[in-house]
Amino acid sequence: MTEPPTPAHSPKRSTVRSLLRIWPYARPIRWYLAGSTASAMVASLAGLLIPLVLKQIVDGPVSKHDSSGLWWPAALLLVLGLAEALFFGLRRWMLARPLSGVERTMRADLYARLQRLPVTFHDRWASGQLLSRATSDMFTIRLFLAFPLVFLIVNSMVFLVGIAIMFALDWQLAVIAVLPAAPLIMLCSYFERRYSAAARLAQDQNGDLATIVEESVLGIRILKAFGRHRTMAQRFRAQARELRGTELNKARLLANLWAVIVGLPELALGTALAVGVVQVAHDTTTAGTLVAFLSTALALRWPVESLGWLLAYSNEAATATDRFFEVLDAPLADADDVVTATGPDSRPDSDIRDGIRFEGVRFRYPDAPADTPDLLQGVDLHIRHGETMALVGTTGSGKTSMTALLPRLYDPSAGRITLDGADITALSRGRLRELVSVAFEEPTLFSASVRENVLMGAPDADDAALQRALDVAQAQFVRALPQGVDTQVGEQGLSLSGGQRQRLALARAVVGAPDFLVLDDPLSALDVHTEALVEQALRRVLAGTTALVVAHRPSTVLLADRVAMLVDGRIAAVGTHHELLETSPAYRELMSGERVPA
Amino acid sequence: MNDTGTVLAGPRPTARHSNDPEAAVEAETLDEATLVEEQEQLSGADQPLTEPEPPAAVAEGEDIPVPPGAPRALLRSLMGPHRKRIVLAVLMIVFQQAALQVGPLLVSVAIDRGIPALRGHDAGPLIAVTAGYLGCAAVATLLQRWFIRLSGLINQDILLDMRRRIFRHAQLLSLDFHERYTSGRIISRATSDVDAVRELLNEGLQELLSVALQIVYISGLLLVLDWRLGLVSVASAVPVFLLQRSYRLRSKNIYRRSRTAVATVIVRFTETMNGIRPVQAFRREEANDASFGVPNAEYAKSNADSMISMARFVCSARVTANVWIIGVVLWGAYLVAGRELELGVLAAFVLYLRRLFDPIDQLAMFVNGYQSAAAALEKIAGLLAHEPSVPEPVEAVPLPETPEHARPGATTGGREILFDRVGFSYRTGKQVLPEFSLRIPAGQSVAVVGATGAGKSTLAKLLARFYDPTGGRVLLDGVDLRELATAELRKGVVMVTQESFLFSGTVADNIAVGRPGAGREEVEAAARAIGAHGFISELPEGYDTDVRKRGGRISAGQRQLVAFARALLADPAVLILDEATSSLDVPGERAVQEAMRTVLAGRTAVIIAHRLSTVEIADRVLVMEQGRIVEDGTPTDLIAGTGRFSRLHEAWRDSLV
């Protein structure tokens, strides 16, 4: 799951270029962003001015021991204090909803895109990798817009204004106080860089650890059956120790970083204090100025310290953006489709009742090693209109892959497939998949009610159709579920047995009375008795449709009118079950398991 | 800083559980298909069925109960071994904060003493103050550095310990727990929940300590400097504390909502990505966009709420703080003007007061981190507090040595199995297996047939000690399974399920799970024996092909062959095969059966199959119906008879060629 994605990474762009790509999403909230930045600026400046007013108080009324002169500066102080608080609040409040909206839109776009990317894309990418893009990366981007973006601007301004104030107060002290700023920023960004490298390593190791946890839980039956949890625990411990080492390294870097952040400014302040006192003693400056100066210098510590992590965070956000666009830039499944017929009339000409034709179809998985032969090496097969064709072949011969070509989950590398005379690449994918209905070998149910899961196959079908489909699949057990067809199943609902899931998947495939039906070993998880009942019902459905049925056993083969045998990537023989039994020793062996003497 | 921290702790992928029927063993009882004699009876399948129970998956939220005090006890036991180092770390931060807070005090001394002295041409006080200031800065810096290193060490050791405990415990918990709790949740306990605790340990606790100490020190200093002003300043803690509390309560609810929303987002997302084939084949894209939009919007809303709630807190706390500061300063100025207070003291007050209220934002972030860590710790504690229902024996008994076992290099001989008045019910009290007794002599191969839900799998799981019987005992060569240590038990009994899960690593690694340390020849021999050698050697890198990498596309049937080879390599005395050939084609199944004839010789075997072909290699057949063994005999006898098996067999033979 945590396997790093294999797809070629686009060359690393600059942080700024990457971040600029967020703009289309940030554009609708640009005024909020500007407002938030302005608010933060006002608040920060107010905070910066407070020490100046304090200076006025100390130098003026206080040193003159005149309490009546306090009121004006006091009122000013109150205004500044309130402004600081309210504008900082306003800044956050203003962005809250718009920013969540941006994150939401980006996530929705990512999800929508992923759904429409070709299956080959999903083959290459572990779902965990995709998930982290939809969750933590989105979060990083939202946070970037909320803090680093705003504060990079605001803190730079505050820093400049603060320095200006300090220079205005006492340029000599200001030079001393500002001196450490340059090395501070440099050291901070040096440590941040090394720290983020260590952090990335820790993240990867964390992912590996998660993989071990995942496997130990998913394979718990095997581990228990063989009493192997100790071996697994050892692997886990080794991995966890490695992670601990990296984390300790992170802590060491952090310790150094903080030592710099705390140490350098204090050093400068101590020096400034000594020099300032000397100046006051020589009456070149006032005590009030010294106080104002020191508190301004203190107020500037945060903008300086923050620059390091603001930059590091921007870097992280840039990576998150790149990861986001890796998905959004991937070509859609129908990117290079040439749909000649679109709209409602895209149905293959119903007058030509030609059934399904595979013509010279070759296929290999895009990620197959280069030196392996094609999986399908020129398949020619004609399934006549209304006919049910069984597809047999040894394990791994490419039967399932062949069924995946019909709804265009994969495209053949050569050759063509036609439905009632129309090339399937000339149909829109939506239309094609409306025509072709599939029951997969692996019956997947989604977190939804039984009704929704079954009616996926035909959104417009009514309750009667639902009942018929459930009856065909012998899925009467549904009625005994707590809420009948409205019971939630899938990851977030009741978990069903393999046989039950398989029957629902079968019901899903047949519910819309599709023109073309593909069943991939649809009865493998059923016991003999249920299998017989499903077969009986299925026969009626198959009578009204053109079907391709992958079969492992004679009982399933008997559902079909004819049988096609896939050998070495080609159709080696086509005929009825009995014909093939008589003429093909290979078929006999496949069906009976008895090795026929050559 | 905590904001950055949580990013790293972003939700991790929850894994989906494998699509094997085993995962839903309890729901299996829902299956209406009972092995009945007449068709008519079955066609009346709408008869009131067994009550659907127990719900196999518990909705997120209604987690397993956490015993009161468990989170705290867990924390104590995790921190216990590090007590000394923790004390040392706390002392460091105590001194570090002390050194850091002395600064403004020295400023006040410099102004009040240093300036007059300097005017009198005495640089002594100024030099002393400056040296003191720089010294304190140096001490604070060094202590900060050491503290981070030491606390890093403590945190990592605690986390390592916690991770290992979760892992070990999850492995010890029985299968029925795993089936109920779902894999995704166990995984998130060991990953994202640990991360939440880590964030708190790494950032939060240090921050909280610093903030608390800062407040204490500054308050103390202020009181010493001038008790009147000091008292008024310290009193500001009351409104800030009240604000903080109301924020904490508000954010707790928001946090919960947000966790639920993000969990739904994750489930929907993973489900779609893992089921991308049916999603595309059934044109679910648009409907999914809509249904994904609901939790996505809910998550966005709770995020916004949490930001707004934080804005409210930060704003109101700042207003309070600023007004308070102004009040204190004004009063101080009034006092100085009236010559009741020294100027330097007021200067120190001004500097300290700003510092006193600096940590308000940190406090808000800490509250957030604490909230999530507390929730996580509670969940972890709940998992760890769950007693394994299939515990290890306190005093393990070894299996008796039989002459065959003593013989060096001997393939393990079989062992006798005895179910002694065994019964099994679910926790809910629903009976699955009524009390029964059954003896399987050493070396016998027994086939168990019957419809889904007849209790075959439960029987096998009792024998493999995936469950313990609710009544009676299961004996292996006279020893109760509950008295055998896991290692000893697995030398005796191995179960191959139709589970097709492969661990990451090479094909050879996966086979070697059966016997770690087995050489390549042994692995190959096992694969050859079961007829898996052919397809494995055709893989791009043969036995060294990584099953998770390019080219490692291994079909369901092939995975079952790997599972078989794994079991052969384990070389157990008793072999249980539960639907182990369901995905094989006929020749594959036939090859396995051929191999089984030799493999099973001398072993005790229990074979469960939907398909009757398996029966041919068995010495004895048990027919099960609704938890009872209704027929028992040799295959030939039963086929010749007129019972259920005979009819079943006939129907099956008809379905063949």
Query: What confidence tens digit (pLDDT) does each residue in B452-487 have?
Result: 667 887 888 888 888 888 888 888 888 888 888 877
**CB A273 to CB B549 under 8 A?**
no
Q: Check CB contact under 8 Å for A111 and B292.
A: yes
CB contact under 8 A, B464 and A225: yes
User: What is the reported pLDDT for B10?
Assistant: 32
Same-domain check for residues B378 and B454: no
The reply to whether A326 and A394 lie within a common domain is no
CA distance B587 to A405: 26
Report how far residue B298's alpha carbon sits from residue A104's, in angstroms, rounded to the nearest whole number: 9
Three-state SS at B65: coil
Looking at the complex, report in whole angstroms how far the Cα of residue A432 sits from the nearest Cα belonging to chain B.
9
**Choice between A283 and B614, residue whose per-residue pLDDT is larger:** A283
pLDDT for residue B297: 92
Q: Alpha-carbon distance B448 to B612, whole Å?
A: 10
What CATH number does the domain containing B380 carry?
1.20.1560.10
Residue A343: per-residue pLDDT: 44
Domain-located, residue A275 = no
In a domain, A308, yes or no: no
Angstrom distance (rounded) from CA A75 to CA A169 = 23
Is the confidence at residue A266, as pLDDT, over 70?
yes
pLDDT tens digits along B618-656 = 888 888 888 888 888 888 888 887 777 787 777 777 666
Contact assessment for residue A82 and residue A49, using Cβ atoms and an 8 Å cutoff: no
Q: What is the pLDDT of residues A27-78, one digit of tens each?
A: 898 899 999 999 988 988 888 888 778 777 777 766 676 667 777 888 888 8
Residues of chain B in contact with residue A65, where contact means CB-CB under 8 angstroms, are: 336-339
Domain enclosing residue B523, as ranges: 412-655
Residue A239 lies in a domain: no
Angle between helices A71-116 and B285-337 (to 10 degrees): 170
pLDDT, one tens digit per residue, over B343-388 is: 777 777 777 777 777 666 667 777 777 777 887 788 888 888 877 7
Distance from CA of A333 to the nearest CA of B (A): 10
CA distances for B167 relative to A220, A221, A240, B159, B188, angstroms: 12, 15, 11, 12, 12
Q: What is the DSSP string of A477-526?
A: GGGGSTTGGG-EESTTSB---HHHHHHHHHHHHHTT--SEEEEESTTTTS
Query: For residue A552, what are the CA distances in angstroms to A308, A479, A591, A593, B561?
Result: 63, 30, 8, 11, 16
Q: Which two tokens stand for residue A391?
A: 């597809």
Q: Could you tell me the CA-to-CA distances from B364 to A93, B209, B316, B370, B371 in Å, in that order?
A: 15, 14, 12, 10, 11
* Residue A429 covered by a domain: yes
Query: Does the beta-carbon distance from A114 to B329 stay under 8 Å?
Result: no
* pLDDT tens-digit series, residues B283-315: 888 888 888 899 899 989 988 998 888 888 888
B409: region left, alpha or beta (phi > 0 left; psi from -120 to 50 alpha): left
Q: Can you give the CATH number for the domain in which A325 is found? A: 1.20.1560.10
Smallest CA–CA distance from B327 into chain A, residue:
A74
Between CA B286 and CA A112 the distance in angstroms is: 8
Q: Give the model's pLDDT for residue B215.
A: 79
Q: How many residues does chain B have?
A: 657
Q: How many domains does chain B have?
A: 2
Predicted confidence (pLDDT) at residue A11 exceeds the cutoff of 60: no
In angstroms, rounded to a whole number, what is the distance separating the alpha carbons of residues A576 and A565? 11
A152-161, A162-171, A580-589, B190-199: segment of lowest average pLDDT: B190-199
Side chain identity at residue A315, one-letter code: N
Q: Hey, are the CB atoms on A491 and B182 less than 8 Å from each other?
A: yes
- Residues from chain A contacting residue B271 (CB–CB below 8 Å): 446-447, 490-491
CA distances from B26 to A2, A136, A497, B30, B457 (A): 31, 35, 8, 8, 10
pLDDT, averaged across chain B: 75
Structural domain total, chain A: 2
Q: Cα A137 vs. chain centroid, distance in angstroms? A: 8
Kindly determine whether residue B323 and residue A82, on different chains, have CB atoms separated by under 8 Å: yes
| Chain A residues with beta carbon closer than 8 angstroms to that of B19 | 442-444, 498, 501
Residue B52 lies in a domain: no
- Report yes or no: A262 and A298 within 8 Å, Cβ to Cβ: no
Of the listed ranges A371-385, B30-44, B117-131, B508-522, the one predicted with least confidence: B30-44
Q: Which of 345-364 (B) contact A at CB < 8 A?
A: 346-347, 350-351, 354-355
- B628/B48: higher pLDDT: B628
A residues 563..592 contacting B (CB < 8 A): 581, 588-592
Q: At what angle do helices A181-218 and A229-281 cross, to 10 degrees?
A: 160
Same domain? A326 vs A440: no
- Is the model more confident about B192 or about A349? B192
Residue B184 binned pLDDT confidence (cut-offs 50, 70, 90): low
Give the residue, A27 or A200, on which the prediction is more confident. A27
Q: Are residues B277 and B184 in the same domain?
A: yes
DSSP H helices in A117-228? 119-124, 127-132, 138-146, 148-169, 171-178, 181-218, 220-226
Mean pLDDT of B106-129: 78
Look at residues B631, B498, B510 and name the one whose alpha carbon lies nearest to residue B562. B510
What confidence category does residue B279 fall into, taking pLDDT thresholds of 50, 70 and 90?
confident
> With 0-12 CB in 10 A as exposed, 13-18 as middle and 19+ as buried, what is B437?
exposed
* CB-nearest partner of A291 from B347, B516, B549: B347
Report the share of chain A in percent with pLDDT over 70.
89
Q: Residue A581 and residue A557: Cα distance in Å, rounded?
A: 12
pLDDT of the residue at B622: 86
Q: Is the pLDDT of residue A249 over 60?
A: yes
The answer to whether residue B49 scores a pLDDT higher than 50 is: no
d(CA B155, CA A10): 37
pLDDT at B38 over 70: no
Rounded alpha-carbon distances, angstroms, from residue A181 to A147, A169, B54: 22, 18, 65
Sheet bearing A570-575, strands edge to edge: A436-439, A516-520, A546-550, A388-392, A562-567, A570-575
Residue A546, SS3 per DSSP: strand
Q: Would residue A123 count as lying in a domain?
A: yes
**B417 and B375 assigned to the same domain:** no
For residues B363 and B426, state if they share a domain: no
- Answer whether A555 touches B (CB < 8 Å): yes
Residues B515 and B568 in one domain: yes
* Nearest residue on chain B to A592, alpha-carbon basis: B586
- Regarding whether B432 and B381 lie in a shared domain, the answer is no
Interface test with A, best of B2, B17, B19 (most A CBs within 10 A): B19
Interface contacts (A, B; CB < 8 Å): 619
Any B CB within 8 A of A119 CB = yes
In a shared domain, residues A148 and A86: yes
Residue B625 DSSP one-character state = E
Looking at the structure, do residues A516 and A444 belong to the same domain, yes or no? Answer: yes
**Claim to verify: residue A96 and residue A145 sit in the same structural domain:** yes
Q: Say how far apart CA A340 and CA A337 lie, in whole Å.
A: 9
Q: Indicate whether A391 belongs to any domain.
A: yes
Per-residue tokens: A151: 């504060």
Question: What CATH number is attached to the domain comprising A565?
Answer: 3.40.50.300
Q: Which residues contact B478 (CB under 8 A, 6 or more apart)?
A: B400, B416, B418
Which residues lie across from B471 on neighbouring strands? B423
In this structure, are A434 and A327 located in the same domain? no
Tokens read off for A2: 């945590």
d(CA B341, CA B228): 10
Query: Any chain A CB within 8 A of the CB of B267?
Result: yes
Within a 10 A sphere around the Cβ of A457, how many other Cβ atoms?
A: 26
Max mean pLDDT range (A549-558, B178-187, B339-348, B424-433): A549-558
Res. B316: pLDDT tops 60? yes
Which domain CATH number covers B502?
3.40.50.300
How far apart (Å, rounded) are the C-alpha atoms in residues B574 and A150? 68
The answer on A321 and A423 residing in a single domain is no
Q: Do B265 and A107 touch (CB under 8 A)?
A: yes
Q: Which range of residues forms the domain containing residue A62?
A: 13-169+316-332
Same domain? B378 vs B416: no
The top-scoring range by mean pLDDT among B96-105, B392-401, B432-441, B611-620 is B432-441
Assign A574 to helix, strand or coil: strand
Same structural domain, A325 and A405: no
| Paired tokens of A518 | 């593909």
For residue A494, give the nearest of B3, B27, B656 by CB distance.
B27
Q: Do A128 and B555 touch (CB under 8 A)?
A: no
As for the ipTM of the complex, it is 0.81
Sequence-ordered list of residues with C-beta below 8 angstroms from that of B544, at least 6 positions apart, any chain = B506, B507, B508
Distance CA A110, CA A103 (A): 10
Q: What is the pLDDT of residue B502?
A: 79
Confidence of residue B498 (pLDDT cuts 50, 70, 90): low
A141 closest CA partner among A284, A323, A374, A271: A323
Count the Cβ atoms, other than its own, within 10 Å of residue A484. Answer: 12
pLDDT score, position A98: 92
Pair B338, B456 in one domain: no
Sheet holding B431-440, edge to edge: B431-440, B417-425, B471-476, B479-480
Across A534-554, average pLDDT = 86
3-class SS of residue B410: coil
Residues A408 and A526 in one domain: yes
Q: Which of B56, B107, B147 lies at the smallest CB-CB distance from A294?
A: B107
Q: Nearest 5°: phi and psi at A489?
A: -125, -175
pLDDT tens-place string over residues A501-533? 888 888 988 888 888 889 888 887 777 777 888
pLDDT of residue B19: 31
Alpha-carbon torsion (B104, B105, B106, B108), positive or negative: positive
Q: Are residues B381 and B499 in the same domain?
A: no
Window 486-505 of A: residues touching B by CB (8 A cutoff) are 490-501, 505
Nearest to B538 by CA among A568, A266, A461, A519: A568
pLDDT tens-digit readout, B218-261: 788 888 878 888 888 888 878 888 888 888 888 888 877 887 78
CB contact under 8 A, B171 and A233: yes
- What residues have CB less than 8 Å from B294, skipping those under 6 apart? none
pLDDT of residue A35: 92
Rounded to an integer, what distance in angstroms lies between the CA atom of residue A379 and that of residue A364?
12
Q: Does residue A580 share a domain with residue A512?
A: yes
Same domain for B286 and B416, yes or no, is no
Report the percentage of chain B scoring pLDDT > 90: 0
- Angstroms from A285 CA to nearest CA on chain B: 12
In-domain check, residue A477:
yes
Domain membership flag for residue B406: no
Residue B10 DSSP symbol: P
Task: Mark which of A279, A299, A332 sits at the end of a domain.
Answer: A332
Tell me what pLDDT residue A349 has. 53
pLDDT-derived band at B37, boundaries 50, 70, 90: very low
* Band (A594; pLDDT cuts 50, 70, 90): low
End position of a domain, from candidates A332, A364, A389: A332
Assess whether A531 and A577 both reside in one domain. yes
Chain A contacts of B297, Cβ < 8 Å?
Answer: 104
B473 and B376 assigned to the same domain: no
Residue A229 within a domain: no
pLDDT at B25 over 50: no
Task: Please report the residues numbered 591 through 610 in chain B whose beta carbons come closer than 8 angstroms to any beta carbon of chain A.
Answer: 591, 610
Considering the domain architecture, whether residues B369 and B498 belong to the same structural domain is answered as: no
Give the residue with greater pLDDT, A219 vs B604. Answer: B604
pLDDT recorded at residue B548: 67
Which of B107, B262, B300 is closest, CB to CB, to A100?
A: B300
Pick the residue of A59, A76, A222 with the most B CBs within 10 A to test the interface with B by mutation: A222
pLDDT of A6 over the 70 cut: no
Same domain, A463 and A328: no
So what's the pLDDT on residue A105?
92
